[in-house]
Structure 1
Amino acid sequence: MTLWSAADAAAATGGQATQDWQATGISIDTRSLQPGDLFVALSAARDGHDFVADAMAKGAAAALVSHRPEGVAQTAPLLVVPDVLEALRALGAAGRARSRAKVIGITGSVGKTSTKDMAREMLVEFGKVHAAEASFNNHWGVPITLARLPQDADFAVVEMGMSNAGEIAPLTTLARPNVAIVTAIAPAHLESLGSLEAIAQEKASIFAGLEPGGTAIYPAELPTSPILDAAARAHATACLPFGKGEWPLHLHDVRQTDTALVLRAKVGRMALAVRLVNSGAHAASNALACLGVAQALGLDLARAAFALGRWQPPAGRGLRQTILLDPVEEASFTLIDDAFNANPASMTAALALLAQTKPGPGGRRVAILGDMLELGPEESAMHAALAQEPAMSDIRVVHCVGARMAALHAALPLRQRGRRVAAADALFDHVHSLVAPGDVVLVKGSKGSQVSRIVDALRSLDTASIQTKGL
C-alpha cells in the first residue's frame, strides 16, 4: 500500500521530485531499509547522503536529499529539498494533517515507552493502531512516526522525549495530540534543566499542543503536580489527574504476586481490575493512564482493562526470563532485564520489584547496577542514597558498574558489597560466578553504562539456548 507518492511528498515538503515514484515506508537506516521505502538522508554522526547509493541498491523507492550525492545516477528517483530535516518535519506534519487517527501523545521522566506500548496493546482492541517504534521520541523520531502514519489508522501513539528545555513544544505542535499524557516527573536530565520544577514545566508543555476538545492526563500527587495541573487546565478541555486519592483516575489497590501485578482502579464511576504479567508496582500508574485514554476516547473500559492484560515488559524494560544453568539438575536463575535506562525513580521501582520477587530454593536476590547519567552536580549523593532504599534490606548482594556507582558501593554495608568495576566489560569473564541456582538477578542502569551487555552475557549462560544453537 502506497504511503507517499512523489507528488504528495513534493507538495508536503516543497521539494522537487526527479521522477514519479511510490513509497510504501520510510527509512533513515540502510541496515533496516525495506524495498519500497523512502530513504531520508539525515545528517547526524554520519551524512545520510553517503548512503543513498546503498539505499538504492537495496530497493529504496526514492531518497529525500538536499542534493544528488556523488555516485548516484542522474536518473535516480529523488526528492530534492533545501534541508532534509525540515522536509522530514513537513512530511510528518502532512502525515498528521491527512490522518483521521486519534493521536495520543506521551511524555514523562520515566515510563514513556512502557506506557506507549501499553496504550498500543490496549487500542488494538478497538481499531488499527500506529505507534512509534523503539524510542523514536526526539526531533527526528516524532516526524518519522507521523510521516509513517497510515491514512486509515484509527489511533496513533506518539512518544515525546527531551534532553534540554524547549524540546517538547515543537514536538507536540507537530503531533497535535487529542490526548496527552505526562507519566511522571523524576530526577532525569537534571544536568541540563537544573530542577524538578524545570523538568515539570518542560514536560507540561505537551499540553500546549492539544487539539480543541483534548484531554490531559497527569499524576496528581507529586510535589510538581501543581505545575502539570496549571498547564493542563490552560490548554485541555478535560483534565484527568491520577493517583491513589479520589481523583478522576483513582488507583485504590495494588497487589504484587510472583508472576504478575494486579491493580484495582476506578475510572469515573467504573471499578476495573487489570492484571499485568511480569510487572512491578511502578507499572500501575502507566496502566491507569492508559485507562484514562480509553475514558477520553469513549472506549469500552472493561474491554480496555482486559486488553491491557496482554502487555508484557519488553527486553531492557523489566523483561523477566528463566536462565537454565543445568538441564539435568533443573538448576536455573531468574533474570530481570531492566537495562535500557535508569534514574533514581526508575531505580527505586526496579529495586522494589526485585525485593518483591521470591527467589528459588537456596537462591538470593542480586542486583547489578550501572551508572545513572545526566543527574547533575548531586549525582554522587543520588547514587549513594540508593543504599537507603527500603528494598535494599531484602537484596543479598549488589554489584556496581561505573564511576558514579562507586558512591553506592561505598554506602552499602560490607555484607552487601559485591564487585565494583569501572566498566561493564570488566564483568563479562565473571558472570558465571555472579549467579547461582535459585537466584533472582536484576540488571539496571542508564543506556550509556552499557549494562545491557551484561544481560547478554548472563543470557549466554542459558544451556537451553546453547543446546538449540548446536542443533
Structure 2
Amino acid sequence: MYGNWTASDWSRGAGATLVGNSQVLKSVKDFTNDSRKVGDRSLFIALKGENVDGHEFVLSSLNAGVLGALVSQKWFQEQNLDMGKFPQSCLLVVRDPLWALNDLAAFRISKDLSQVKRIGITGSNGKTTTKEIVKTLLVAGGKKVFATEGNFNSEIGLPIMVLKTPRDTEYAIYEMGMNHGGEMDLLVRSCRPDLGVVTNVGRAHVGLLGSQDAIAFEKRKVLYTASHAVIWAQDPYKDFLLGGFSGTVSTFTSTSLEKMTNLGLEGYAFQHRGQDFHIPLPGRHNLENALAALEVGEWAGLSWTVLAQGLAQVVPSFGRSEIIHGPITIIQDCYNANLDSMEGLIEFFADIPWPQGRKFLVLGSMKELGSETETHHRQLGNLAAGSGAGGIWFFGDETRISYEACLKAGTPAQWFISMDEMILDVKKVLVPGDLLAVKGSRGVELERLIKKIKQEGLD
C-alpha cells in the first residue's frame, strides 16, 4: 500500500525525523494505536491518553517486530534508544504524535487519494447508520467503496481510516464524530470531504461543548472543503449550517414523501420521487437516515432502481435498532444515547402495535451531558411516562432523576444501579411474547442484560 512512498514522503507527511531503517516503511499495511493489535506490517502510533501512554508499549512493539512507530521527541530523547538493535524497524520522531497522525492522513489524501470521492458524515444522531446505508447503496451500484470501520470516527480513529483507505477506492465514506471544540477542524483536515452530510444537530455531548449552538458550529465545518451538502430540511440550524456555503445543496425530510407506511419492526415502505422503497430498519429516525443516504446515492449517479434495490439490503449495525427475535422480541439500541435519540426510540416504541404480548422499556444513563444531566434525565422520565410501556426499568446513577420524574407523572417504574439485580427483576416479569426495548449510553453496557436473557432465558 505504501510501496510508492519514499523516506522523504514519510518525513514530510508526518513532519518527522526518521531514525532506523526507513526502507521497511514501504511494507507498512496497517496502522494502530493499540499495542495489542500490532502486526509485522504495522506502524504503531504512540499516543498519550488520559489513563495510558502508548509510549510505554513502544519497546515491546519493536520487540514484536513492528515495522515502525510514531513517537514524540520528548520520549525519544529520554530513552536514548539504540535503533541498531531493531534493524527491521524505523521510528518517526515528531513533536506531537496526534498532530503528526493527522498530518500524515492529510498528506495521504494529497499523494494517493485525491481522485477518490470522499464523503464526510457527521451529526448528533444517525452517523453510523447513515454511513452503513450509504455503503450498502454504493456497493449495490457496483462502486468500489471504503467506509469507516466501527467507531473509528475521532481525531485518532479517522486519520487511521484515511491511512488504511486502498488507493483504488472510488468512494470513501468517513464518519466524523466529535465531542470537544476544535476536533472537527482536525477531522476535516485529515479527510477533506467532497460531500458533507449533517444528519442533524442535536444535544449529544452538550456537556462537553457547552451548548447546542456550539455543537452546530462544529458540525458545519464538515462543509469547509465540500462542494455538495446534504442537510436535514427540518433542522433548526439548517440556515446556520449553510451560511457561507457556496456549493450545491440537497435536503431530505420524511414529511415530503408521497407515500409512507410504518411496518413496525420491519421498517418503512415509502414512495419517493415516484420510486417505491423499503428500509428494513425500524423507527422514524432510520427513515430520515435512509433519505439522507439516498441523496448521497443520487449525487454518486446511481439510478433510483439501484437505490431501491440497495436500500432493501440494509441490515442494522450492532446495538443500533437491532431486532433480536426469540421468545422475547428485543429492540437492542444500546450503543449510544442522548435525549434526542431516546425520544426517537420511545416514540417508535409507543407506535408499535403488539397484540401478541406486553411492551417494556429498559433505559440507561445518558453520558457527557455536563450541566444538562439533571434536566435531560428528568425529561427522559417524562418521555418514558408517556410511552405506554407495561413496565419501565431505569438503570444507572443518573437515571434516578428519570425514575422520580416518571413516578411523579403517575407511571410506575423501577430503578437500579446493580445490573445483576435488574436482570433478576426483568426476568421475573417478562413472559414469552413480550417486547423489550433497551437503550442507554455505551458506558452502561446494557447489552449485558440482553446477553443474559439470550443465554439463560427467563427462568
TM-score (norm 2): 0.87
Please, which runs of 5 or more residues in structure 2 have no aligned partner?
none
Q: Which residue of 2 aligns with 1:344?
A: 339
**444, 453, 457: which one aligns with 2:452:** 457
Inter-partner Cα distance in structure 2 for 1:87 and 1:196? 30
Query: 1:367-386 maps to which residues of 2 (within 5 A)?
Result: 367-386=361-380
Q: Which residue of 2 aligns with 1:469?
A: none
Q: Cα offset for 1:221?
A: 1.4
Query: 1:1-400 maps to which residues of 2 (within 5 A)?
Result: 2=2, 7=7, 8-15=9-16, 16=18, 18-19=20-21, 20-21=23-24, 22-44=27-49, 45-56=51-62, 60-66=66-72, 73-82=85-94, 83-97=96-110, 98-99=112-113, 100-125=115-140, 126-210=142-226, 214-230=227-243, 234-244=244-254, 250-266=256-272, 270-323=273-326, 332-359=327-354, 361=356, 363-389=357-383, 392-400=386-394
What is the identity percentage for the equivalent residue pairs of Structure 1 and Structure 2? 30
**377, 398, 407: which one aligns with 1:404:** 398
Q: Cα offset for 1:192?
A: 3.0
Question: Alpha carbons of 1:208 and 1:263: their partners in 2 closer, same or farther (altered >3 Å)?
Answer: farther
Q: Cα offset for 1:434?
A: 4.4
Alpha carbons 1:12, 1:91 under 8 Å: kept: yes
Inter-partner Cα distance in structure 1 for 2:265 and 2:159? 38
Inter-partner Cα distance in structure 2 for 1:462 and 1:43? 43
Q: Cα offset for 1:420?
A: 0.6
Q: Which moved more, 1:382-391 or 1:279-288?
A: 382-391
Deviations 1:188-225 (A, max 9, x none): 22223333233222211211132xxx111111213222
Q: Cα offset for 1:437?
A: 0.9
CA root-mean-square deviation: 2.7
Aligned to 1:369, what secondary structure does the other structure show?
A: strand
Q: Which moved more, 1:388-397 or 1:179-188?
A: 388-397
Question: Alpha carbons of 1:17 and 1:279: their partners in 2 closer, same or farther (altered >3 Å)?
Answer: farther
Q: Cα offset for 1:157?
A: 0.7
Please, which runs of 5 or more residues in structure 1 have no aligned partner?
324-331, 464-471
Q: Cα offset for 1:227?
A: 1.4
Alpha carbons 2:385, 2:406 under 8 Å: kept: no
Question: Alpha carbons of 1:204 and 1:368: their partners in 2 closer, same or farther (altered >3 Å)?
Answer: same
Alpha carbons 1:423, 1:449 under 8 Å: kept: no
Question: Alpha carbons of 1:369 and 1:3: their partners in 2 closer, same or farther (altered >3 Å)?
Answer: farther
Deviations 1:66-112 (A, max 9, x none): 36667983424023222322221122112222212110001111111
Question: Alpha carbons of 1:155 and 1:433: their partners in 2 closer, same or farther (altered >3 Å)?
Answer: same
For residue 23 of structure 1, what is the amino acid of its counterpart?
A: V
Aligned to 2:36, what secondary structure does the other structure show?
A: coil
Aligned to 1:383, what secondary structure does the other structure show?
A: helix
TM-score (norm 1): 0.85
Deviations 1:225-249 (A, max 9, x none): 221232xxx234201122245xxxx
Deviations 1:116-163 (A, max 9, x none): 111111112232111111111211112111111111101111111121
Inter-partner Cα distance in structure 1 for 2:322 and 2:390? 21
Q: Which moved more, 1:6-15 or 1:430-439?
A: 6-15
Q: Cα offset for 1:412?
A: 2.3
For residue 14 of structure 2, what is the amino acid of its counterpart?
A: T
Total equivalences in the alignment: 441
Question: Alpha carbons of 1:304 and 1:61: their partners in 2 closer, same or farther (altered >3 Å)?
Answer: farther
Inter-partner Cα distance in structure 1 for 2:205 and 2:54? 29
Inter-partner Cα distance in structure 1 for 2:36 and 2:277? 39
Question: Alpha carbons of 1:163 and 1:14: their partners in 2 closer, same or farther (altered >3 Å)?
Answer: closer
**433, 436, 452: which one aligns with 2:428:** 433
